Structure 1
Amino acid sequence: MANTTVADPDSGLTGAELAHRYGLRVAGERPSLSEYARKLWAYRHFMTAYSRAKVASSFSNTQLGQLWQVLTPLTNAAVYYLIFGVIMSQGRNVPNFIAYLCTGVFIFMFTQSAVLNGTSSITSNLGLIRALQFPRAALPITATLIQLQQLLMAMVVLAGIVLVTGEPITLKWLMIVPALLLQSVFNVGLTMIMARLGSKITDLKQVMPFVLRTWMYASGVLYSVTLFRDHLPGWAATALECNPVLIYIELARYSLLESAHPEHITSSPTQLWLLGVGWAVLFGIGGFIYFWRGEEEYGRG
């Protein structure tokens, strides 16, 4: 009887070569940077809807509901004003200290809350990550969008505080829009960095409140930034004056407060805008690339 064995067309090929021949890809494989950006853009409606749902649900079990979006920064500002404005008399050195302080608190809390939520955005959504295939960068971006929505409501209150304390409405108020956009881009990039680090170092979430509290004291939130030059060596004062959160706080103060400049801001408006753009570009692009490089790691282990 004749031998009728059939030749194996794939004999001698490695697993990788076979996968390539038949168009197979590794599950969860990291796409190219451009493809990743396109996929992320396709999920923009999901991120917007998800962030709105998270904001609505975050205060659903409280009697005052979303009013806490305004009450939280106001309460913080009131406490800081009592300590630094009344007890420590820092208000003597800054005209309209109430508006000066509230602007710093509201702007800093935008970055603070985004970073805190972004640090745990991967570890707190492991079920979603393992169940669905989507660009993981959607999670830290959503964390920033949530805080941006809360900030916008707080800015309405801040505008009222600024007016009640005697500041006039000027065309410079329009500059708050690009200032907040730059800070939002910076926050997205920083949140992506912290999300990847937080997915690797699970204890990072416990450490971040102390880091952020130190950052707040170094950002001129609670007192005049001119104190840096009065009490620190020149190099240290210069380093603190380039602090990105301080830059965005100063841009907001420059936009809203006539009484806060020029002697109560760290740099000229041109320098502030250049630094603000520089930090946004550096962290926006750098944070996105850093997070993308870890795309295959998220949700595993």
Structure 2
Amino acid sequence: MSQPESAVADARAGGRKDGTPSPGKESLAQLAARYGLRRAIARPSLPAYLRQLWERRHFVLTYATSRNISKYSNSALGQLWQVLTPLLNAGIYWVMFGVILGTSKDIDNYPAFLITGMFVFTYTQRAVSGGAKSISGNLSLIRALHFPRAALPLAYTVQELQQLFISMGVLGVLVLVTQEPITWAWLLIPVALLLQTMFNIGASLVLARIGAFARDMNQLLPFIMRTWLYSSGVFFAIGDKIHAAQLPGIVSDILYMNPAAAFIEVMREILLQRHDAPPWIWGVCVFWAVFALLVGFWFFWRAEERYGRG
């Protein structure tokens, strides 16, 4: 009989044949320690957890790709919807805010301004929303297989990143159509997207843990995202609106600290020649990217043992 089997037999018998004290008087933790046993789902150290996640990078990529393929498999336009959706939203906002409310009057090249804001915000919105449902929506997979649970929200972000590559190609064409020139600043686009992706991963990890245990999050998330959209300067210039409302300049600084607004402003500064963003906006993006990624991984890892239970 193996050592673990002997431990179980001792526990059931209530004593041992050699006359030593009965293990029934020991706690399960003491019994497991005496026989060198440990929990199968014990949370590994953070460095070990990151190594396990890296070892499953192929699973993350394959899972994200398969979701992308299946997501639009039943629609006639297929993958085009990933571009058409933000474009249609931009068209609606252009009519409502640009034409009816006259927001476009004080903004140079408002179509490119609006489309850039929609594409950048949609990337974060989809990644964070998908991450929030990544654990609660995959309980059968979590309970059937042993793997780092962070692979799921990470895969959802990779899925949106794959879609973004197509969207950015379309965005570049649309910006050129509006007579914006190609400049050396365009070389910074990958840097801006890297920072935004780091933030998206961290934010999706945070919401994945919250969504795993607070089921009402899925009902609140649309309202949270809508509020975030309206406060991120997607269809209006934050500085101009604050100035027009005669509010203190500190209010616009606070709104620019919003991570979604910061990433939008950086991309507009890169693509739109006549757009002026605050000089410190890149620093805000770097801060949110690093802070969200570090805190997100730590926060998610702390509950690794609890996902899929109960």
Q: Is residue 238–residue 255 contact of structure 2 (8 Å, CA) maintained in 1?
A: no
Q: Which amino acid aligns with 2:167?
A: A
Q: Is residue 128–residue 200 contact of structure 2 (8 Å, CA) maintained in 1?
A: yes
Superposed CA RMSD in Å reads: 1.5
Distance in 2 (CA, whole Å) between partners of 1:272 and 1:35 is 35
Q: Is residue 76 from structure 1 mapped to residue 89 from structure 2 by the alignment?
A: yes
Distance in 1 (CA, whole Å) between partners of 2:101 and 2:208 is 37
Q: TM-score, normalised by structure 1?
A: 0.93
Taking the TM superposition and a 5 Å limit, the aligned residue runs for 1:1-301 are 6-8=18-20, 14-226=27-239, 227-231=241-245, 232-261=247-276, 265=277, 267-268=278-279, 271-301=280-310
Q: Is residue 238–residue 252 contact of structure 2 (8 Å, CA) maintained in 1?
A: no
Which stretch of structure 1 is more off in the superposition, 6-15 or 279-288?
6-15
**Offset of residue 10 of structure 1:** 8.2
Q: Which amino acid aligns with 2:65?
A: R
3-state SS in 2 of match to 1:287: helix
Return closer, same or farther for 1:16/1:72 CA change in 2, 3 Å cut-off: same
> What's the CA shift string for 1:13-52, capped at 9, x where partnerless?
6532332343311131111111111101111111011100
Map of 2:9 onto structure 1: none
3-state SS in 2 of match to 1:276: helix
Distance in 2 (CA, whole Å) between partners of 1:158 and 1:115 is 21
**Offset of residue 7 of structure 1:** 4.1
Distance in 2 (CA, whole Å) between partners of 1:75 and 1:174 is 28
3-state SS in 1 of match to 2:36: coil
Identity percentage of aligned residues: 48
**Offset of residue 105 of structure 1:** 0.4
Point out 4+ residue stretches in structure 1 off by more than 2 angstroms.
5-18, 20-23, 228-238
Distance in 2 (CA, whole Å) between partners of 1:137 and 1:28 is 14
Return closer, same or farther for 1:23/1:229 CA change in 2, 3 Å cut-off: farther
Which stretch of structure 1 is more off in the superposition, 144-153 or 58-67?
144-153
Distance in 2 (CA, whole Å) between partners of 1:188 and 1:10 is 50
- Size of the aligned set, in residue pairs, is 291
> What's the CA shift string for 1:114-169, capped at 9, x where partnerless?
11111111110000000000000011111111111111111111001100000001
Q: Which amino acid aligns with 2:282?
A: W
> What's the CA shift string for 1:204-263, capped at 9, x where partnerless?
1111111111111111001112213432344433211111111100110111110212xx
Q: Is residue 73–residue 154 contact of structure 1 (8 Å, CA) maintained in 2?
A: no
Distance in 2 (CA, whole Å) between partners of 1:160 and 1:280 is 27
Higher RCO (C-alpha 8 Å, min separation 6): 1
Q: Which amino acid aligns with 1:63?
A: A
3-state SS in 2 of match to 1:108: helix
Where does structure 1 lack aligned partners over 5 or more consecutive residues?
A: none
Q: Which amino acid aligns with 2:244?
A: D
Q: Is residue 198–residue 205 contact of structure 1 (8 Å, CA) maintained in 2?
A: yes
Q: Is residue 256–residue 262 contact of structure 2 (8 Å, CA) maintained in 1?
A: yes
Distance in 1 (CA, whole Å) between partners of 2:51 and 2:243 is 46
